[in-house]
């Protein structure tokens, strides 16, 4: 009788431990099986969509080698260190494949990470006598490791700044990996060893692109040729060989950012300017943005900037604008006694982004450098740098204005001729703007006056327009080697 009770007792405890053991897994009846690796060698296609907000969408197709185990582990390797793990999604036609769990392993095998894992543990130090060359292995405990400064306990004594040998570790901790890896717990319902294609998409930080433009003017500055490159920067922690690249232009809304991955030391950037066959981009609209697709694959190496030919347009008509910008806040106070200081006149280049003007393309924002052909001393035409500006995202049909600097031979002087307060917060004043042109050709200067409050022009010597609610624009032609004076009277109420 006692024997039967003892058997029942043992059986009950065995059943309890069995149930407890099965409850440790996501699905009852599954035990961990084999572990397979998926590396970039198994990749069959790679597509990148890069946004100019320091991130990109990676979509790659690979073949997974599945073992016959129903429940197994897959190490999806060669992913960027700056991957956003919560954005990973997997597409497969086999419904029997299911990802039960995912972990992102980003603690890489480095000397610093290895030593941090051995704080408080025993290790060995291989010493070598510099005179005899004799080697000796000594036992040590790593007491502390901060700021790359190890502290050891050797034979009961504490050693600070010990650099007398090579540290020898018994093994590499399991969670440290040679390169960033996604670790999947996968269910294989078919229970067969097979090769299965899957498509994996995810977002990664550290990918960015910018457009850079060069505008080359003819000698008269009446037309120009536009050349453009895109600079693609890869700081993601992964190399993308032979990738199909698309660039998204526009401000894409994202939720509050969360930092993932490892912190990487800033490294010197390479510059890859090889663009075989002068690749170009195909443009299309997508939602509220514009997408540019490179017509051939390109390799983006980690920690490198790659330049690729983008847009070319020739014989674009150019208009030059001279702008004299007045000062803000001058109408509500007297300016008598202030010195008359000549101010330079700003110079802008104006071009229309239209097909009939040999453009007509959605142009992403970027820096634009302007060169103009001049006459060299030997009689050969030579392009000189004359200014630089930035353009915003410019849709087709819009006007582009490029500020290249200030005119050397055109200046303006603004002078208050009369000022009076005629009521509560109501002022009237008369102004004179003298524009002097020392060039051999006539110029037209736009005098722009910023105004605060409600205003009314009482009289003016030249035509004017209300450019904005608080901005007046006057058009003033100035003869060659001459000057012209703009006068106007204004009433302002605050």
| pLDDT on residue 245 | 93
Residue 166 has pLDDT above 50, yes or no: yes
Whether 69 is in a domain gets the answer: yes
Do both 439 and 327 map to the same domain? yes
Residues 129, 130, 134, 140, CA torsion sign = positive
Does residue 423 sit in the same domain as residue 474? Answer: yes
Given a cut of 60, whether residue 10 has pLDDT beyond it is no
What does the pLDDT average to over 10-33?
42
Q: Is residue 182 part of a domain?
A: yes
Q: For the chain, how many structural domains are there in total?
A: 3
Give the tens place of pLDDT for each residue, 411-444: 999 999 999 999 888 999 999 999 999 999 999 9
- Residue 273's pLDDT band (boundaries 50, 70, 90)? very low
Q: Say if residue 186 is in the same domain as residue 159.
A: no
- Do residue 145 and residue 38 come from a single domain? no
Share of residues in the chain with pLDDT > 90 (%): 41
- Say what the pLDDT of residue 281 is: 61
In a domain, 154, yes or no: yes
In this prediction, residue 287 carries a pLDDT of 52
Q: Is residue 364 part of a domain?
A: no
182 and 127 in one domain? no
pTM of the model: 0.68
Q: Are residues 422 and 331 in the same domain?
A: yes
* Average pLDDT along the chain: 83
| Three-state SS annotation for the chain | CHHHHHHHHHHHHHHHHHHHHHCCCCCCCCCCCCEEEECHHHEEEEEEEEECCCEEEEEEEEEEEECCCCEEEEEEECCCCCECHHHCEEECCCCCEEEEEEEEECCECCHHHHHHHCCCCEEEEEEECCCCCCEEEEEEEEEEEECCEEEEEECCEEEECCCCEEEECCCCCCCCECCCEEEEEEEECCCCCEEEEEEEEEEEECEEEEEEEEEEECCCCCEEEEEEEEEEEECCCCCEEEEEEEEEECCCCCCCCCCCCCCCCCCCCEEECCCCCCCCEEEEEECCEEEEEECCCEEECCCEEEEEEEEEEEEEECEEEEEEECCCCCCCCCCCCCCCCCEEEEEEEEEECCHHHCCCCCECCEEEEEEEEEECCCCCEEEEEEEEEEECCECCCCEEEEEEEEEEEEEEEEEEEEEEEEECCEEEEEEEEEEEECCCCCEEEEEEEECCCEEEEEEECCCEEEEECCEEEEEEEECCCEEEEEEEEEEEEC
Q: Given phi > 0 = left and psi -120 to 50 = alpha, else beta, which region is 219?
A: alpha
443 occurs within a structural domain: yes
Decide which of 213 and 453 is more confident. Answer: 213
Segment among 87-91, 338-342, 404-408, 481-485 with least mean pLDDT: 338-342
pLDDT at 117 over 80: yes
What integer pLDDT is reported at residue 159 of this predicted model?
A: 87
Same domain for 482 and 333: yes
Q: Is 257 a residue whose pLDDT tops 60? A: no
Instruction: Quote the pLDDT of residue 179.
Output: 72
| Residue 1 within any structural domain of the chain | no
Give 12 or 90, the one with higher predicted confidence. 90
User: Which tens digit of pLDDT belongs to each residue from 327-377?
Assistant: 888 888 887 767 778 888 999 999 999 999 999 888 988 999 999 987 655
Residue 85, domain member (yes or no): yes
- Both 191 and 337 in one domain: the answer is no
Domain around 420: 323-348+407-493
CATH of the domain at 448: 2.60.40
Look at residue 402 and tell me if it is in a domain.
no
My answer on whether 100 and 118 are in the same domain is no
Residue 177 pLDDT class (50, 70, 90 cuts)? low
In angstroms, the CA 95 to CA 110 distance is 39
Q: Do residues 154 and 198 both lie within one domain?
A: no
Question: Residues 69, 195: one domain?
Answer: yes
328 and 420 share one domain: yes
Write out pLDDT tens, residues 24-47. 444 433 345 567 888 889 999 999
Supply the pLDDT for residue 28.
37
């Amino acid at each position: 009788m006692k024997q039967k009770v003892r058997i029942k007792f043992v059986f009950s405890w065995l059943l309890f431990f069995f149930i407890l053991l099965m409850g440790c897994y996501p699905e009852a009846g599954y035990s961990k099986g084999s572990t397979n690796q998926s590396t970039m060698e198994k990749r069959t296609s790679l597509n990148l969509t890069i946004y100019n907000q320091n991130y990109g969408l990676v979509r790659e197709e690979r073949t997974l080698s599945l073992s016959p185990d129903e429940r197994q582990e897959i190490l999806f390797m060669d992913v960027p260190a700056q991957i956003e793990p919560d954005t990973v999604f997997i597409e497969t036609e086999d419904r029997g494949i299911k990802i039960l769990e995912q972990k992102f392993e980003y603690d890489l095998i480095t000397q610093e990470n290895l030593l941090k894992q051995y704080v408080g543990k025993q290790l060995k130090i291989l010493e070598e006598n510099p005179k005899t060359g004799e080697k000796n292995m000594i036992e040590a405990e790593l007491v502390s490791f901060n700021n790359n400064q190890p502290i050891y306990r050797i034979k009961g004594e504490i050693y600070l700044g010990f650099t007398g040998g090579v540290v020898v570790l018994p093994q590499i901790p399991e969670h440290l990996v040679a390169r960033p890896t996604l670790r999947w717990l996968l269910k294989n319902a078919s229970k067969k060893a097979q090769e299965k294609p899957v498509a994996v998409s995810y977002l990664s930080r550290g990918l960015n692109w910018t457009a850079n433009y060069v505008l080359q003017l003819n000698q008269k500055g009446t037309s120009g040729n536009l050349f453009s490159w895109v600079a693609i920067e890869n700081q993601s922690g992964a190399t993308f060989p032979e990738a199909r690249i698309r660039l998204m232009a526009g401000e894409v809304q994202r939720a509050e950012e969360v930092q993932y991955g490892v912190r990487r030391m800033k490294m010197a950037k390479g510059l890859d300017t090889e663009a075989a066959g002068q690749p170009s981009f195909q443009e299309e609209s997508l939602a509220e943005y514009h997408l540019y697709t490179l017509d051939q694959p390109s390799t983006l190496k980690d920690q490198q900037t790659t330049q690729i030919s983008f847009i070319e347009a020739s014989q674009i008509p150019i208009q030059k604008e001279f702008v004299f910008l007045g000062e803000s806040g001058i109408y509500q106070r007297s300016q008598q006694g202030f010195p008359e200081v000549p101010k330079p006149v700003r110079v802008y280049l104006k071009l229309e982004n239209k097909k009939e003007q040999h453009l007509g393309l959605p142009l992403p924002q970027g820096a634009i450098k302007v060169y103009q052909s001049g006459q060299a001393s030997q009689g050969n035409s030579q392009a000189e740098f004359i200014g630089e500006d930035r353009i915003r995202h410019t849709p087709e049909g819009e006007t582009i204005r490029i500020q290249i600097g200030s005119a050397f031979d055109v200046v303006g002087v603004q002078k208050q001729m009369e000022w009076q307060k005629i009521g509560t917060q109501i002022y009237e004043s008369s102004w004179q703007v003298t524009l002097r042109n020392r060039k051999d050709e006539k110029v037209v200067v736009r005098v722009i006056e910023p105004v605060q409050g409600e205003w009314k022009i009482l009289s003016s010597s030249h035509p004017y327009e209300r450019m904005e609610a608080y901005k007046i624009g006057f058009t003033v032609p100035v003869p060659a080697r001459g000057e012209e004076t703009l006068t106007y009277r204004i009433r302002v109420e605050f």
